[in-house]
Structure 1
Amino acid sequence: MNRLGLLAFALATPVLAQSPALMKYACGPANRMFATLSASSIYSDTHAGFDLNTLPSFTGKSCTSDKPFFFSVPVVEGSDRVTVVLGGDQSATTTIWSEARRLSVEKVQTEAGKSKTETFDVNVRTPEIGGDAAHHVHLKPREIGNLDWDHKLTLEFNGEHPSIRSISVEPITPHEPTIYLAGDSTVVDQDVEPWAAWGQMLPRFFRPGVVIANHAESGETIKSFVGEQRFAKIFSLIQPGDYLFMQFNHNDQKISPRTHQPVVPLDEYRALLIEYIGKARAAGATPVLVTSMNRRTFDASGHITNSLGDYPATMRSVAAEQHVALIDLNAMSKTLFETMGPEGTLKAFMHYPANSFPNQTEAISDDTHFNKYGAYELARCIVHGIRAANLPIKKYLVKGTTDFNPAHPDDVNTFHLPATPIPPKTEDVTKVPQT
């Protein structure tokens, strides 16, 4: 069944017979143009509805709650445009995360009885490559059941009394520019609080017209990205006009206990970068190299020390030789972290005492990975890099997005993004695989 066929099958209502490509759902009284949402609107493999054991209240013409709630729609692989009308009977501040905690809409305030409309694009993917179940991405255990790898589009409504009036989902045709992200745990859609990475924050900064497809995964090197068929997955989908952002380093440089050499030696790292630059160009896509951000390693004078070896320098030289756009996140993060200082960076990295979060039995002291604040600031660095490299996709940045100077980070004391509920299956958030 093709994409439009499955979408038509997803909800058996008269409106779908009229407009099978567009699915529209509304809270409140029945409306012939929308499928009416109620307490019985529970998601299944064939019907859209509220998901993950959450259900809002139905008041007047709105669905609202004092807790986060999820709504899922059965779809097939591709990109969808989502339009939501926010607002309810009381004032609300609503943040929308899509799929595995991708920030799509940030803290939209609505007054009591008023509404606001937000539109954003979401990419949905499945493990199969080219529709062949026998040819698929080699998922890790942590990815099994992950919202990034299923056959549905999931939206999380969060914040202070999150409230919605309606949701519309429509497949994007024709194809729009897609930014494919290839990288490791500092880029991936981290699906469990309080972990976060810059790739999942990036969608918030783009308006409809371009979509982010974050294929990064924890523990990846550029070599394992090949072996696990992750590049194969991307290149089964990538089209002319798309982008391939590549950030690898943190795991490539690690010393193998078997060979006592880097897991990916510099010469192989260089060769694979050049190979996939060539593959992207051959597909009509634009390759972009992103140097890895620094770890939280300070010297006695408060300066960041290089813990990443010659890999950032190698990526810079490849970018120059191959005439490829470079986003030097390594350099920007040095400025950012030194501005924050040794104490300030504790609030950007994963440093928490025991019992700060449900199921967190031990303290977290991690100088490589980030919380939402740190990930958000790094995403702002990426946006600055897109502008500095004069990439055409800069025209799709959300209007009013100010440029970012890493020497002047956002005030952590005024930063807040609502927390996604930690799944019951998570026994201990300190043990979420990150490497």
Structure 2
Amino acid sequence: MKSSRVLALTVVAAAGLPAPAHAAGPRSVPGVCTGAAPVVCHYDVGPGEYDVNVVLGSRDAAGSTAVQAETRRLMLAETATEAGLFTRRAFSVDVREPESEPTIENVGTPGLTLTFTGAAPQVRKITVRAASPRAPQLFLAGDSTVCDQPADPYVGWGQAIPQHLLRGLTVANHADSGEGTASFLADARLWATMLPQVRQGDVVLIQFGHNDKQTTAEDYRANLTRMITELRAVHAKPVLVSPPVRRRFDSTGRLDDVARHLNGLGVWLPAEMRAVATGLNVPYVDLTADSAALVESLGVEGSKSIYLYNELRDNTHFSGYGADRIGLLVLTRLAELRVLPPRAFRAGAI
């Protein structure tokens, strides 16, 4: 390990005991860092929200550093630093158990793990503190296209969006693979676990459709309506997000009806979701239309990189590149709808 990196990481170990989530005061949390490429740092903290400040760079060497938190959540895009120059960045992290998908046990480790990756990671200083209990959260309820995927090469778009958000807004991703509206409500590890954590003013994005293949229009509407009603009861801000398209082209080079979420019962799920949003006056992100425009603009060949086609012949789940593109579509609409304020986003993100 280079001497500059050793100096950087000895700064991390601040005096004092680990602060519990939402503890008062400015005390930083001590941590232990190991490795060189990647650099992995662990903090013995309980579940909750934490603010992280990092100084990237080295006195002696150029660097190129990206940051992940917990199970492959993308917190900072790869950032270049010249030798002798340093860059400060900050972000907020949701620490929870399990740290990946809610129904998958024994993934990761208790506490907060930060992983500094990239072509040449250089870390000068890290400070971790409990976030303010008044800090807003962005909750995600959805399926495998949204969730914190535990294993490469899968990446959910909810895993990619934190890198575009500034410190002070935490992404709490409760999405889970294989879930539809009914199963998400029925499993005690999902809706019943997430809902008590939602506070007044928090934004909750709800995206379902991929696994509602046999859901009737009436049940789909009823399930979405229940979610909205229960969120409004705790004074949260629900937002409906229609499902992104699958990569299924017809002979004319257009996405077919199944790609656009006509389910097995002949129900146009995005249209049903839009009707619920309109009827209940809920913000609606038409991710089906936005992702269709993106995928069709790239064409049959170009769109393969959005999905895991090249790796797994998978036309539903996203690559890292694709998850970022889809996530940016969502964030752009949230900004346009003024669901999230401009101060929530990193410069140049949208």
Structure 1 length-normalised TM: 0.71
Aligned-pair identity in percent equals 33
Q: 1:163 offset after TM fit, Å?
A: 1.1
1:200 aligns with 2:170: no
Which residue in 2 is equivalent to 1:270?
Answer: 221
- Structure 2 unaligned residues grouped into runs of 5+: 1-12, 20-24, 263-267
In structure 1, what is the Cα distance between the partners aligned to 2:296 and 2:82? 40
Alignment of 1:36-185 (within 5 A): 48-50=31-33, 55-56=34-35, 65=36, 67-88=37-58, 89-126=60-97, 140=103, 143-147=104-108, 151-185=110-144
Q: Cα deviations across residues 283-309 of structure 1 (Å, max 9, x unaligned)? A: 010000000011001111111112111
Q: Which of 222, 230, 241 pairs up with 2:201?
A: 241
Q: Secondary structure at the match of 1:106?
A: strand
In structure 2, what is the Cα distance between the partners aligned to 1:185 and 1:152? 24
1:233–1:167: structure 2 CA closer, same or farther, 3 Å change rule? same
1:18–1:176: structure 2 CA closer, same or farther, 3 Å change rule? closer
1:174–1:299: structure 2 CA closer, same or farther, 3 Å change rule? same
**Greater Rg, structure 1 or structure 2?**
1
Amino acid at match of 1:146: V
Q: 1:390 offset after TM fit, Å?
A: 2.0
Q: 1:352 offset after TM fit, Å?
A: 2.7
Which residue in 1 is equivalent to 2:251?
Answer: 300
Which residue in 2 is equivalent to 1:321?
Answer: 279
Which residue in 1 is equivalent to 2:297?
Answer: 339
**Contact 1:102–1:189 at 8 Å: present in 2 too?**
yes
Q: 1:78 offset after TM fit, Å?
A: 1.0
Q: 1:384 offset after TM fit, Å?
A: 1.3
Moved over 6 A (4+): 17-20
1:223–1:115: structure 2 CA closer, same or farther, 3 Å change rule? same
Q: Secondary structure at the match of 2:245?
A: coil
- Structure 1 unaligned residues grouped into runs of 5+: 1-12, 26-47, 57-64, 129-136, 254-261, 354-363, 403-435
Q: Secondary structure at the match of 1:23?
A: coil
Amino acid at match of 1:351: Y
Aligned alpha-carbon RMSD (Å): 2.2
Amino acid at match of 1:233: T
Alignment of 1:258-407 (within 5 A): 262=214, 264-307=215-258, 308-309=261-262, 310-352=268-310, 364-402=312-350
1:139–1:115: structure 2 CA closer, same or farther, 3 Å change rule? closer
Q: 1:243 offset after TM fit, Å?
A: 1.0
**Contact 2:156–2:317 at 8 Å: present in 1 too?**
yes
In structure 2, what is the Cα distance between the partners aligned to 1:207 and 1:327? 22
In structure 2, what is the Cα distance between the partners aligned to 1:86 and 1:17? 25
Q: 1:197 offset after TM fit, Å?
A: 1.5
Q: 1:113 offset after TM fit, Å?
A: 2.2
Alignment of 1:396-435 (within 5 A): 396-402=344-350
1:138–1:370: structure 2 CA closer, same or farther, 3 Å change rule? closer
Amino acid at match of 1:228: D
Q: Cα deviations across residues 145-188 of structure 1 (Å, max 9, x unaligned)? A: 223xx531111100121011111110012321101000000001
In structure 2, what is the Cα distance between the partners aligned to 1:392 and 1:114? 33
In structure 1, what is the Cα distance between the partners aligned to 2:247 and 2:229? 33
In structure 2, what is the Cα distance between the partners aligned to 1:369 and 1:283? 33
In structure 2, what is the Cα distance between the partners aligned to 1:179 and 1:293? 19
In structure 2, what is the Cα distance between the partners aligned to 1:70 and 1:174? 27
In structure 2, what is the Cα distance between the partners aligned to 1:78 and 1:379? 24
Q: Secondary structure at the match of 1:236?
A: helix
Q: 1:138 offset after TM fit, Å?
A: 10
1:306–1:14: structure 2 CA closer, same or farther, 3 Å change rule? closer
